[in-house]
Amino acid sequence: MDKLPSSVKYIYAYIRRSRQDMQREKKTGQDTLTEQRTLLTNLLNKYYNHYDWDMYDELGSGADAIEERPTFAQILKEIEAAPPRTMAIFVKEISRLGRGNYEQMGIVEKIITSKVLYVITPTQIFDPLNDSDMDYIKFNMFFANMEYSKITKRMRDARYTYAAQGRWMTGGGGIPFGYKFNSNTQKLEPNEDTAWVVQKIFQMYTSQTNRLGYNAISTQLTKEGIPTPTGKTYWRPIVIRRMLRNPVYIGTVQFKTTIIRNKKKIKLDEEDWIVTPNAHPPLVSRETFDLAGEIMEENKNSPKVRLDFEPQPLAGLIICSSCGNKMQRQYSTQHYKKKDGTESVYHKEFMQCLACKVYMKYRAIEDEILRILQEDFIQVDSSLLKERLEELIDLDKLQQKNEVSPTDRVTIILKQLETIDGELTALRRMLRKGQITDEEYEEDRGELLKQKVEKERQLSFLQTENTREQISEINVEEIQEGFKTLYDLYMNGDLSRGEKNEILRGIFDYIVLEKTGKGKFDLNAFINPKIIMNSLTSQ
């Protein structure tokens, strides 16, 4: 073995599985990672025992992209921070450094040359300052890249061929709700535990006698305690919509709908898609699926239906004091026959916490909110209101009152931000699995990012150290006058329920409801920080 220069202080012994290793493990049951570890350890002890070294295992699959190899990425980061000619990396063969695309290999080559990173293999030490050694490294990386490209193309072509045969090419990942994956046939099969839920959704949406929309179906499934595709308790209406649009439920496989170019996903024309009908057993008939599509198209072009989705006055405002979740409106009607034979209709309207099973009369909550607005914010003395504003913002005072959670504004907003981040992550996962289109992803992502920016703005304001001093400068009388104008408009104006919701959400950030008895409750209303921020910026 050649000798390393005395300037080298540390050796990274890096082992990882290649795709060939993984295939060999499946056939023979051998642990190729252990084989590499034994080989490199023996050589290190024999030839490099006077150097400081450690073994670094890449425990994941045979990925080639640097970002998909966290151990290797961390090694490169540490080498970049070290002085030149002080580090070496020991691998079974040069291709273990990676055989990704030219951009990926360019990153590795740049670090090797700029940091004079010595590359050790079982047969040779490669010196970046030696032109011949560097040419050999480049050649091997280029050759590995060519091999990688060929393998990738063969795998891609094979996936296209199998998809055309009706096989499900996402494997065990991205299995549509209602199906399970047969690893032997590589096809979808109905999942008896969940297929009936899919059929129920289509039945409710296409019923000729009691047809329900996305929101109503979402409410019904949640009320019945049926788990969502991700195992949660609340069904989002958008999930219902995507299921109703997915041709997989009539036995059709769609593949190659997009391609990746320069790390960007590009949607192909439908004529270039791979579409295989009758690939697996359908869960609904073609007639039912087409009817759902027709209803969807009618609703899309119907102003009347769009108005039905307009938010109710209290939408998104009321939070359960027990769990911190938003409460939802529940509405139903019951028909009763009177003694004289005529029929009377009883309308039930409640705000309910689906998790805690807490519910209160909707109109009683609305009336109490309007009373609070009038008595506690409009008619109250302006100096008292200013103290109230300071109390809402002053976290120390909240903690003294043992009101930190869930009424602590910062806690609530942090939880809201956590939820938004979770939805963004779920959205990216759905895009990768092909469960949503690029257009749906961008639309939903834009809305979530808009919400996130607003919440972060509120959080920044609430966490500002001089918030109390800022509030003291507010013109409270002006704010009260604005409240009065909005109250009069709410009570006397010819407003839609959506416009009423805009008024209440403009005034209140959220309102915590605490059940105090049967049909009894207390409300803790929090002013929207926008009012304070806008008042400060307008001065």
Query: Catalytic residue numbers?
Result: 18
Q: Which two tokens stand for residue 483?
A: 């409240």
Closest CA to 362 of 332, 383, 339, 403: 332
DSSP secondary structure code for residue 326 in this structure: B
The single residue listed with the structure tokens 């990925």 is 63
Q: State how far the Cα of 18 lies from the Cα of 61, in Å rounded to an integer.
A: 8
Q: Say if residues 198 and 242 touch (Cβ distance below 8 Å).
A: no
Distance of CA 84 to the CA centre of its chain: 41
Closest CA to 169 of 154, 153, 185: 185
Q: Say if residues 389 and 527 touch (Cβ distance below 8 Å).
A: yes
Would strands 343-353 and 358-361 be described as parallel, antiparallel, or unpaired? antiparallel
Instruction: Tell me the three state secondary structure of residue 362.
Output: helix
Helix 529-537 to helix 497-507 angle (10° resolution) is 70
Position 120, amino acid: I
User: What is the length of the chain?
Assistant: 539
Q: Which two tokens stand for residue 246?
A: 């997915």
Q: Which two tokens stand for residue 285?
A: 């008939």
Would strands 520-527 and 508-517 be described as parallel, antiparallel, or unpaired? antiparallel
- Listing DSSP states for 179-228 in one string gives EEEETTTTEEEE-TTTHHHHHHHHHHHH-SSS---HHHHHHHHHHTTPPP
Q: Say if residues 352 and 359 touch (Cβ distance below 8 Å).
A: yes
Q: State how far the Cα of 10 lies from the Cα of 79, in Å rounded to an integer.
A: 10
Q: State how far the Cα of 396 lies from the Cα of 49, in Å rounded to an integer.
A: 59
| Backbone dihedral angles phi then psi of residue 56, each to the nearest 5 degrees | -120, 115
Position 247, amino acid: P
Q: Say if residues 17 and 61 touch (Cβ distance below 8 Å).
A: yes
Rg of the chain in Å (alpha carbons): 31
Q: State how far the Cα of 66 lies from the Cα of 403, in Å rounded to an integer.
A: 47
Instruction: Tell me the three state secondary structure of residue 452.
Output: helix
Q: Which two tokens stand for residue 431?
A: 């895009």
The CB density around residue 8, as the number of other CB atoms within 10 Å, is: 20
DSSP secondary structure code for residue 475 in this structure: -
Cis preceding linkage at 70, omega within 30: no
Positive or negative, the Cα torsion across 491, 493, 497, 499?
negative
Q: State how far the Cα of 257 lies from the Cα of 28, in Å rounded to an integer.
A: 37
Who contacts 515 (Cβ-Cβ below 8 Å, separation ≥6)?
A: 321, 322, 358, 360, 521
